[in-house]
Amino acid sequence: MEDQNIKDQIGKEFMKKTQYRYITQKSDQSLNYPQPQLQMEYDDNVQLIDLPRPEEIEVENFNLRDAIENRQSVRKYSDEPLSLMELAWLLWATQGVKEVVRDGYCTLRNVPSAGARHAFDTFLLVNDVEGLKPGIYRYLALEHKLMEYIIEDGIADAVVEAAYGQKMVKNDAVTFIWVADIYRMFWRYVERGYRYIHLDAGHVCQNLYLSAANVGAGVCAIAAFHDELFSQVLRIDGENHFVIYLAAVGKKKE
């Protein structure tokens, strides 16, 4: 007999109502509405930080089987910083744009995404990366560059608070913060798109785990965080743009 508490839960209702048989709304794509931009807007006058180009990135070769079989979450890190090249590798592996196709219709990247929608923008809490001031940055995937976003005293502590006190987000070299732009997915898939962004988040984070092996780093994915507080910290609206997933990254201890 089905437990009444489970039957009435919102999560179960979500899974039910995002079945295709309940989705009767036509997508904005089918109605020929303009598609959303491929990444969040930013001020054209802001100074961008160059990253090593993908073809210039040099990291240690690491056997894929070893990376898969030895994958584990790492919550404590050494004091060794990440280099800018190592960070560039992790960004390229998780959200790097290989090609913009059909006059900006979509991007082909190093991770799969439903309909090539790629509905994420990557924010970074930089704690210890060579050449970068501590603070929050945005990765501009189309340009393969970084943008200073919030460089303020106390921002790392604000991220810790939003992560329910998980201090590894401050004690690591860098914390990846993936923000969903839901309309990029909704434009094509309507309500079903809310399922797809969670699947896509898993693809992205797994690439981070595997690519970290090439630079001697460990990763810990984080799904426990205060949604509204994180939106305040990142200065996003929490509805059209919201945090979907985090991951702490730092060099492994010997």
Q: Region 232-249: what's the mean pLDDT?
A: 98
Higher pLDDT, 9 or 77: 77
Residue 39 has pLDDT above 60, yes or no: yes
Instruction: Locate 63 and state its tokens.
Output: 């056997």
Residue 42 has pLDDT above 80, yes or no: yes
CATH code at position 63: 3.40.109.10
Average pLDDT value for the chain: 95
Residue 166 has pLDDT above 90, yes or no: yes
Residue 26 CB contacts under 8 Å (≥ 6 apart), including other chains: 190
Residue 2 has pLDDT above 80, yes or no: no
Which pLDDT does position 102 carry in this prediction? 84
Burial class (CB in 10 A: 0-12, 13-18, 19+), 119: buried
Virtual torsion, Cα 38, 111, 54, 150, nearest 10 deg: 50
Residue 1 has pLDDT above 60, yes or no: no
Q: Region 48-65: what's the mean pLDDT?
A: 95
Structural domains in the chain (count): 1
Which pLDDT does position 3 carry in this prediction? 61
List the single range of 102-111, 160-169, 193-202 with lowest mean pLDDT. Answer: 102-111
Q: What is the pLDDT of residues 98-133, one digit of tens each?
A: 999 988 899 999 999 999 999 999 999 999 999 999
Residues 76, 105: Cα–Cα separation, whole Å = 41
Q: Region 41-60: what's the mean pLDDT?
A: 94
**Strand pairing of 174-181 and 241-251?**
antiparallel
Which pLDDT does position 240 carry in this prediction? 97
| Residue 247 domain boundaries | 4-251
The b-or-e profile of 161-170 (16+ CB within 10 A means b, else e) is bbbeebebbb
